[in-house]
Amino acid sequence: DAGVIQSPRHEVTEMGQEVTLRCKPISGHNSPFWYRQTMMRGLELLIYFNNNVPIDDSGMPEDRFSAKMPNASFSTLKIQPSEPRDSAVYFCASSLDGSTDTQYFGPGTRLTVL
């Protein structure tokens, strides 16, 4: 099992650019969770899905952030336009059926916005 796959692993962009982070949950899992990790705020849940439907997006910081689950095996997190304060490590985790107590984390994407 390849586990959760995230791409890219590192992204450096300039302020104002659009950034798209990608996540492939574990095969058979239909619930991706997106987290952001920073030194100041720790690990924060942004949004999670179950069966392609967003269940809780209360952690999404603002309208510049959007997330989709176009199919059962893929999710994206988009930031448009990006700002330096968006610099963080973004993790995708997956669970089998939306259960929040059993999540498997991917390796993360380190985003740097200059």
Residues that bind another protein (CB under 8 A): 4, 33, 37, 39, 42-45, 48, 56, 59, 89, 91, 93, 98-108, 110
Nearer Cβ to another protein, position 81 or 96? 96
Provide, rounded to whole angstroms, the least separation between the CB of residue 86 and another protein. Answer: 15
List Cα–Cα distances, 3 to 16, 28, 78, 82, in angstroms: 32, 11, 22, 28
Rg (CA), the chain: 13
CB of 102 to another protein, least distance (A): 8
Q: Which residues pair with 95 in a beta bridge?
A: 31
Which residue, 33 or 82, has its beta carbon nearer to another protein? 33
CA dist 103 and 19 (Å) reads: 25
